[in-house]
Structure 1
Amino acid sequence: MSEKNRQGKRTAREKLAAEREKHRSRDRRRRALIVGASVVCVLGLAAVIGVVAANAGKDDGSESAGPVVAPSGAQGKDGLAIPVGEDGAKSTLTIWEDFRCPACKAFELAYRDTIHELTEAGQLKVEYHLATIIDGNMGGTGSRKAANAAACAQDAGKFTPYHDVLFTNQPPETDDAFADEDRLIDLAGKVDGLDTTLFQECVKNGRHNSWVEKSNKAFQNGGFSGTPTVLLDGKNIYQDQSMTPAKLKQLVEDADQ
């Protein structure tokens, strides 16, 4: 073999080796980037989980505002349930809700008409319990202030329509719009006869704030996974993926036979 041919083969081998090394270096850099990105994602997720876990269910940090004052007609253990419907109904629906909770709004919009129909027919009693977990998770006071305003509406005998107005006009989860008491009072104007001086004073003075905080503590101690929690005669139906408004109606009507 001529010296020229040997030199040409050496050059080709060297070029091939250099190309392979370039590919290996590129692969090493790519793997390093992937691993680094994965670590960042894991740490980021851990940080998010840590924040949520650390804040879950916390109040806004304010101290309890005076004595616990339950709204008019509150029932159940420690007077923490706002009842709707007849006491003699054969079925009881227990609902834990947060006025800032998007899933609660979705439940209400889907089931509201059926629940109203059944309560008005005397077949169902609903016990509403109010929680403030979004205040703890996202920051702010809108859950508590909206719950206090709903309790003020209960004092005026207007809980159900005002409850519905709050969910219909729920701001985005990250928007603490319900912390604005004037906003809550403006929404009361959508309910006939609710926007009175007594209601306004109740909202602005936080008359039921301590009751709301006590209700939220009961939620925390109840072992529930989140809001909404919906129990039909003690059975969690919100976790039943086959549940529909029609199925709920059938269950209640069957129990009423």
Structure 2
Amino acid sequence: MSQKNRDGKGRARDRMREEREREKTAEKRMRLLKVGGTATGILAVAAVVGVLAANSGSGGGNDGPAAEPITVGQSTAPATLTVYEDFRCPACGQFENGFRDVIHELTDAGTLKAEYHLVSIIDGNIRGDGSKNAANAAQCANDQGSFAAYHDVLFENQPAEADDAFGDKDLLIDLAGQVDGLDNAEFRTCVQDGTHDDWVQRSNADFMSSDFNATPTILLNGENIYGDPSVPLTPDSLRNQVNQLAAGS
């Protein structure tokens, strides 16, 4: 074989190798389907990065019915806050820590209903079971009418994103001791058995197939109100918006 032919074949192999690398990069981008957006409005209006959602782990398709959200507040409330969040998501923790009090205030007043869609995208991104197990435990608490209190406890004790501490079901049970009457045999069995794992998987699949691209995603009566730096959401502005909706109902 002439040197010219050998050089030509070498260049062809290089081009093929480069093409394979480009294909691998494209495939990786396709797996990371939902790019985390910028969430703003946490008290001091500090910007935080939403969570990158990977189509892996406990994501998957949803062949069953849509997962009903967990609802807090009166069904007749004039305003509905829809929340998509992951218990391992740092930005979700910042949202909850910043807006927890005003959400409780408005749901207690009957002007706001909150609907929680719990997802497990971080389990899919960096592996683990903490998002899934925590969401299952939250639904177990909901079975006993203690979702709101246990939900708050989980975010108040949220581990670092890379720490899969919530993968430990014993920890989730221990945290239930901070909620009056929740640490009982029924709750323990529900957590240990993963009674609501199917619901968590369907809830996550619903999110993955939606048009939303980050957690937390926060909607008020269907309108995305969180994450736009030009119109930052604060507890006061959320209260004002809900009160305006209540006044016009």
TM-score, normalised to structure 2's length? Answer: 0.76
Asked if structure 2 preserves the Cα contact closer than 8 Å seen for 1:52 and 1:137, the reply is: no
CA 124–185 in structure 1, closer or farther in 2 if over 3 Å, else same: same
Name the counterpart of 2:146: 158
Is residue 57–residue 132 contact of structure 1 (8 Å, CA) maintained in 2?
no
Instruction: Indicate yes or no: 2:59 matched with 1:58.
Output: no
| Identity over aligned pairs, percent | 52
AA aligned opposite 1:124: L
Q: Which runs of 5+ in 2 are unaligned?
A: 1-21, 34-52
Separation in 1, partners of 2:149, 2:113? 16
Match of 2:169 in 1: 181
Q: What is the CA–CA distance in structure 1 between the aligned matches of 2:235 and 2:137, rounded to whole Å?
A: 28
Distance 1:61 1:218, change over 3 A: closer
The Cα RMSD (Å) is 2.5
Provide the residue aligned with 1:23 in structure 2. none
Q: How many residues align?
A: 202
Distance change in 2, residues 1:57/1:161 (3 Å):
farther
Structure 1 stretches of at least 4 aligned residues deviating more than 3 Å after TM superposition: 49-52
Q: Is the 8 A contact 1:161 1:191 kept in 2?
A: yes
Q: Which residue in the other structure is 1:112 paired with?
A: 100
Aligned partner (choices 61, 66, 74) of residue 78 of structure 1:
66
Which consecutive unaligned segments of at least 5 residues does structure 1 have? Answer: 1-42, 69-76
Task: State how far apart, in whole Å, the 2-side matches of 1:52 and 1:179 are.
Answer: 23
Structure number with the higher helix fraction is: 1
Asked whether the 8 Å contact 2:122–2:131 carries over to 1, the reply is yes
1:256 aligns with 2:246: yes
Aligned to 2:32, the other structure's residue is in SS state helix
The equivalent residue for 1:72 is: none
* CA–CA separation in structure 2 for the residues paired with 1:230 and 1:106: 13
Residue aligning to 2:45: none
Aligned pair 1:245/2:235, yes or no?
yes
Aligned-pair CA distance for 1:223: 1.6
Contact 1:59 1:135 in 2 (8 A): yes
Shift of the 51–254 alpha-carbon distance from structure 1 to 2, 3 Å rule, reads: closer
User: Which secondary structure state, in structure 1, belongs to the residue aligned with residue 71 of structure 2?
Assistant: strand
